Amino acid sequence: MTDVTETSPSLLSLTTAVPEYELTQEDVIRRASTFLPGVDSEALERLMPVYKNSGIERRYSCVPPDWYAEDHGWEEKNRLYVKNAVDLIEEASVTAMEQAHIEPSEIDMIVSVSTTGIVTPSLEAQLMERVGFRRNCERLPVFGLGCAGGVIGLTRSFQQAVASPNKTILFVAVELCGLTFRRCDGSKANVIATALFGDGAAAAVINSDGNGATFENGGEFTWPNSLDVMGWSVEEDGLGVIFSRDIPTLTRTEFRKVLKSYLADTNLSLSEIDQFVCHPGGTKVLNALEEAFELQSGALTSSREVLRDYGNMSAVTVLFVLKNVLRENERGRFLLSSLGPGFTAAFMTLIA
């Protein structure tokens, strides 16, 4: 846990971007048998409620719908990842710098988060070839955090600003979850992924000179013996999704204890949290989080709206939620939270 209340770097801007192709849940349901030839018709019919009860109406994809009806290998998927990921973080970061009235030459460090593809040189180096950053700009790529990456990556960016108050940090996150789809994988986890995953990116500018939402503290907890709860397996045709069926139950039974420990370490109580900014992994997880936060059912409105309109974009999703909350001019103490591979709970508090 990190407590840095004596210095207060702030969020100068936060922007988001999505690719061009819109996938409605109705269209995905109509195409399910074409998308999933590895699932027999009876099994697919039994799994249809996963789509209908997902709380999702539309998502965005960097490839057109017909792409999912064909087989694709790891090389092609990763090539699409690199091209589209850099396009999206360029769009988001240029807009973020414009909104913060910061020139690219004023950025001292770029922190990037992504887990849905591999690129070396990393995303920030790719971005530097398109945007006029200084050539001595520092780079910090972060990989493998999955859905927890939005909160942890933003926390790491704020921590860099705390350690070096004169620095201006650009934080970028991008996830192209749709490219991990494996049409011949008939597992329930893969079917759930086709019902949830979307693509998107976000960018934020942080320094100690602004008057936006300020960083208070951050922390995380990784449960023991939980490596198989969430993550990727590397397969011949790309990244295979690992989803434990126990994630909603773990959230309901274990998350509250970890949350209370984090709050106690930061001398806070639940009653002092004004806004809960949660990664919406799915409707069952949101229901469990509302129980943990002692909220009424359906109270996590912004998280549910983002899930409805964009799906689960892994690390990026919580940043969409935060943007919505800030756009509504909500004030007070915000608790950001997410759950990701490890199995890890990530927390951060902001004052707006």
Positions marked active-site: 147
CA dist 324 and 315 (Å) reads 16
Chain centroid to CA 58: 17
Task: Work out the number of other CB atoms within 10 angstroms of the CB of residue 220.
Answer: 22
- Does the N-terminal peptide bond of residue 343 adopt cis geometry, omega within 30 degrees of 0? yes
In the chain, the amino acid numbered 48 is M
Is 197 in contact with 181 (CB distance < 8 Å)? yes
Task: Work out the number of other CB atoms within 10 angstroms of the CB of residue 129.
Answer: 10
Task: Tell me which residue has tokens 């409805």.
Answer: 308
Closest CA to 182 of 67, 31, 28: 67
Q: Is 262 left (phi over 0), alpha (psi -120 to 50) or beta?
A: alpha
Using H for helix, E for strand and C for coil, what is the string for 185-235? CCCHHHHHHHHHECEEEEEEEEECCCCCCEEEEEEEEECCCCCCCEEEEEE
CA dist 255 and 241 (Å) reads 22
